[in-house]
A and B are shown apart, each in its own frame.
Chain A
Amino acid sequence: MSNPARRTNPGYGRWTPFWFLAPAVVALFLIGIYPTLFALVTSLRQYNLTRSRDGFPFVGLANYQAVLSDPTFWDTLARTARFFLVVMPVEIALGLCVALLLHRPGLNFLRALARVTLVIPLATTYAVVGLLGRLVFNRDFGVANSFINLFGFPALDWLGNSAGAFAAICVMDVWQWTPFCALIFLSGLSMVPVEIEEAAKLETTSHWALLTHVQLPYLLPGFTAMLILRSADVLKLFDVVFTMTRGGPGAATELISIYIQRVGFRVFDLGTASAQALLLLVITILLARLYIRFFYREIE
């Protein structure tokens, strides 16, 4: 009698599945895992390229100790947090308003057009956004000064002073990422069953009540994903700021990623820079866990 549990010939070689998976695994390893492991090893060594004759000795957690006791690290991290706390609420509020407007029935062609145009800022390369920012906030011929001139205000040297430069990078981030928030919210709103919205409309005329009691639960999963993605993105935000201000004037717009770049590729202290980068990774993971813990709710 034959054993029913015996495996029959599947019709392909033992290694065939491996070869199908191999390209993805190799790419992931080369792009993601190897650099992370390399950074981990580097962060545990004294790895300064300008002093390569000293070798790259193992120093344990010394780099981490140095980073955690470095006031500039904490300053730039605080500046990054401030940047996030300024731009994120604005992007959420504006994105939600845009999504609610696009969720209203009627004007189908214009709504479809608006949805397509929302993708344009998202599809624009970060460095190009930065260059656009330099033009927009140029003291002599920038649109920003033309705009404030309309209201009788004098022209400002936006990128030449600390507050102006910080405001400028915030504005460009809001310009680029509000559409992303709007699209995420819009997809959440489209998940709300029509009958449920209608049932609520029979009970209340308040749009606010409809939003908070009925639509909000459907927005939370997207909202959580938005927070996670934006937090990770802001922590590694480099191109826009670098092309716009190079972190200046002074350190006014030196976000954490600009600082890590400075440590890694101007001072060439790759050991410290790797430790900083890995600490950012830990912060990102912790933030993601917190967001999921506090905001994520499944519907049904």
Chain B
Amino acid sequence: MSFLRLQGIQKRYGPVSVINGVDIAAEAGEFVVFVGPSGCGKSTLLRMIAGLEEVTSGQVFIDGQDVTGTEPAKRQVSMVFQSYALFPHMSVRDNIAFGLKMSKVPKSEIDRQVAEAARILQMENLLDRRPRQLSGGQRQRVAIGRAIVRHPKLFLFDEPLSNLDAELRSQMRVEIARLHRDLGVTMVYVTHDQVEAMTLADRIVVLRGGKVEQIGSPQTLYDRPVNTFVAGFIGSPKMNFVAATLTGRDARTVTVAHSSLATPVRIALRDDAQTKGPSVGDTVTLGLRPEHLVLGDGPNRMILTADIVESLGGSTLIYGQTKARETMILEAPGRRTLTKGETLSVGFDAAQAYLFDATGQAI
């Protein structure tokens, strides 16, 4: 049985429904990331796991126990908040020790555990400071320390890195990954940043409008997105979408044509789409990732008109337009200079192309 199981979870605020029947399961020791745009319900879902938000209907199981009606403190979960939520009137030491004091743990044991948490998070010299005397990264470390010492069954992170600058964010990301590896505890992490999701997760849950769009490993979501939403959300820069026409079809493959394609492209169908899906003449969406497009090379060619070039130092983002005036992004290694209006021949491998039907479902 799964360590964490959400079963038919619904959440309504009056007439407004924010979570619509979510089923998620996570195994012990797994790092699960909830990802999705603002307002998709990912934080609400996390708060329902913590017990800070009531569940309208459905059940939450942690370690085999139904905790749907259990008070937050009795669920044995720890949560790290986006705003750190440190007690401003307490020292770092008292902040970390708070949960242990509430649990009436002996003082010597509290001291030992606080020292251990401080060692793990490298903040031994900060223990006597107040939160206001700490930087953002240090505060987040204290918040994590407060979570660690309780030895929870489940760690919950609610966008913990959103308030940090880019450099600190990547540093803390590595620390959280290391922490998960060292502690081996189940972690549920909420973010809208797909880079955090891809780098930290064992499994990603993509949410939209209070519903699960897809659950899978980062690689699965990247390689086999179930719809245009997931395909567009996972990957940076996001996947290019162009409207193409189905010009041929057999049992396993389809041929698609587009005004900017030099020749129609033959693309393999997914297994579940081989017996159904669109017919010849239907409009489909062709998805191509920027990193899969190659300038002037590749078995299939697309003709674009250069628009803007963004240099990232080690690589270059080239924005081009198809004949149907659809914007496409191409990520090219090294530095490139192009003039606006220049014609580009862009190649790609059909095995790395994605196809979606008129409803946006992958075929």
Query: Do residues A203 and B132 form an inter-chain contact, with CB atoms below 8 A?
Result: no
Cα distance A201–B85 in the bound complex, in angstroms: 12
CB 8 Å contact bits of A191-221 with B (1 = contact, 0 = none): 0010110111111111001000110010000
Q: Are B98 and A200 in contact (CB under 8 A)?
A: yes
Question: Which of A196, A205, A213 interacts with B73 by CB under 8 Å?
Answer: A205
Q: For residues 112 through 138 of chain A, which have their beta carbon under 8 Å from a beta carbon of chain B?
A: none
Q: For B143, give the chain A residue with the smallest CB separation.
A: A199
Residues of B within 8 A of A198 (CB): 50, 52, 72, 79, 81, 85
Query: Are A195 and B85 touching (Cβ within 8 A)?
Result: yes
Given A195-B83, A300-B132, the answer on whether A204 and B102 have CB atoms closer than 8 Å is yes
A202 touches B83 (CB 8 A): no
Separation of A204 and B51 alpha carbons in the complex (Å) = 13
- Say yes or no: is B305 at the interface (Cβ < 8 Å to chain A): no
**Residues 164-188 (chain B) with a chain A CB within 8 angstroms:** none
In whole Å, how far is B50's beta carbon from the nearest beta carbon of chain A?
6
Q: What residues of A have a CB within 8 angstroms of the CB of B132 in the complex?
A: 300
Is the pair A300, B88 in contact by a Cβ cutoff of 8 Å? yes
Which one of B74, B78, B88, B150 contacts A205 once the chains associate, using CB atoms below 8 Å? B74
A103 within 8 A of B: no
- Residue from A199, A201, A209, A217 with most neighbouring chain B CB atoms (10 Å): A199
Contact-residue size bin, chain A (C-beta under 8 Å from the other chain): 10 to 19
Q: In the bound complex, what is the Cα–Cα distance between A214 and B88 (angstroms)?
A: 9
Contact A209 B102 (CB under 8 A): yes
A289 contacts chain B at the CB level, 8 A cutoff: no
Does B52 lie within 8 Å of A205, measured CB to CB?
no
| Contact assessment for A201 and B81 in the assembled complex, using a CB-CB cutoff below 8 Å | no
Contact partner of A193 (CB less than 8 A), chosen from B50, B79, B83, is B83
B73-102 contacts to A (CB < 8 Å): 73-74, 77-79, 81-83, 85-89, 98-99, 102
Q: Would you call A297 an interface residue if the criterion is a C-beta within 8 Å of the partner chain's C-beta atoms?
A: yes
Residue contact B98 to A203, C-beta cutoff 8 Å: yes
Q: Do A202 and B73 have beta carbons less than 8 Å apart?
A: yes
B71 CB–A CB distance under 8 Å: yes
Residues 138-170 of chain B, each 1 if its beta carbon lies under 8 Å from chain A, else 0? 000000001000100000000000000000000
Minimum C-beta distance from A198 to chain B (A): 5
Complex Cα–Cα for A199 and B98 (A): 10
A202: B residues at CB distance < 8 A: 50-52, 72-73, 77-79, 99
The residue in chain B whose Cβ has the minimal distance to the Cβ of A197 is: B85
A285 to B79, CA, bound (A): 46
Give chain B nearest CB distance to A194 CB in angstroms: 9
- How far does the alpha carbon of A110 sit from the alpha carbon of B132 in the complex, in Å? 37
Shortest Cβ distance from A203 into chain B, in angstroms? 4
Are B73 and A203 in contact, with the CB atoms below 8 A?
A: yes
> Given the interface contacts A201-B52, A201-B73, A300-B132, does A206 sit within 8 Å of B85 by beta carbon?
no
Contact partner of B150 (CB less than 8 A), chosen from A201, A203, A213, A214, is A203
In the complex, chain B residues 101-150 whose Cβ is within 8 Å of any chain A Cβ = 102-103, 131-132, 146, 150
Which residues of chain B come closer than 8 Å to A205, judged between CB atoms? 71, 73-74
A24: Cβ under 8 A from any B Cβ: no
* Residue of A whose beta carbon sits closest to that of B79: A202
Inside 8 A of A150's CB, which chain B residues have their CB? none
Which residues of B have CB within 8 Å of A206?
Answer: 102
Asked if B88 and A299 make an inter-chain contact with CB atoms under 8 angstroms apart, the answer reads: yes
| Contact status of A199 and B89, CB under 8 A, knowing A205-B73, A205-B74 | no
Shortest CB distance B171–A (Å): 23
Asked if residues B89 and A217 are in contact (CB atoms below 8 Å), the reply is yes
Residue of B nearest to A198 (CB): B52
B85 and A193 within 8 A (CB): yes
Q: A193 contacts which chain B residues (CB < 8 A)? A: 83, 85
Name the B residues within 8 Å of A204 (CB-CB).
73, 99, 102
Q: List the B residue with the shortest CB-CB distance to A196.
A: B85
A208 CB to nearest chain B CB (Å): 11
Roughly how many angstroms separate A297 CA and B88 CA in the complex, as a whole number? Answer: 12
Which residues of chain A in 201-244 are interfacial with respect to chain B, using CB atoms and an 8 Å cutoff? 201-206, 209, 213-214, 217
Q: Are A214 and B79 in contact (CB under 8 A)?
A: no
A273 CB to closest chain B CB (Å) equals: 45
B299 CB, nearest partner CB in chain A, Å: 54
Least CB distance, B121 to chain A, in whole angstroms: 17
User: In the complex, which residues of chain B have a beta carbon less than 8 angstroms from the beta carbon of A199?
Assistant: 79, 81, 85-87, 146
Interface of A toward B, CB cutoff 8 Å: 193, 195-196, 198-206, 209, 213-214, 217, 297, 299-300
A-B contact pairs, 18 of them (CB 8 A): A193-B85, A195-B83, A198-B79, A198-B85, A199-B79, A199-B87, A200-B98, A201-B52, A201-B72, A202-B52, A202-B77, A202-B99, A203-B73, A203-B98, A204-B73, A204-B99, A213-B102, A300-B131
Residues of B at the A interface (CB closer than 8 Å) are 50-52, 71-74, 77-79, 81-83, 85-89, 98-99, 102-103, 131-132, 146, 150
Name 6 extra pairs, CB < 8 A, besides A193-B83, A195-B83, A299-B89.
A198-B81, A198-B85, A202-B99, A204-B102, A214-B87, A217-B89
**Which 8 A-B pairs have CB atoms at the shortest separation, nearest pair first?**
A195-B85, A204-B102, A203-B99, A199-B85, A217-B89, A300-B88, A205-B73, A195-B81
